Amino acid sequence: MSFDVEVLYIARKRGYKIVEVPVDWYFHSETRVRMVKDSLRMLMDVLILRRNWKSGKYDCKG
């Protein structure tokens, strides 16, 4: 669910330059955001991401 956050987090921690670029955005009426459930899921994903970083899971090998 939070793949983009994970990629940005790892890139920033490794010192990559991150820039914003405009994208075309299209509204889809069938898309839903569940404020509480999705927010809690994102929080859990970020906490897991931080734990994985601290444990060395994203260290370069090779």
The pTM (predicted TM-score) of the whole model is 0.72
How far is Cα 51 from Cα 30, in angstroms, rounded to an integer?
Answer: 34
Q: What is the pLDDT of residues 2-18, one digit of tens each?
A: 888 999 999 999 999 99
Better-scored residue on pLDDT, 25 or 19: 19
30 burial (CB, 10 Å; 0-12 / 13-18 / 19+) is: exposed
20-60 tens-digit pLDDT: 999 998 888 888 889 999 999 999 999 999 999 999 998 87
With tokens 């994985």, the residue in question is 52
User: What pLDDT sits at residue 2?
Assistant: 83
Say what the pLDDT of residue 58 is: 87
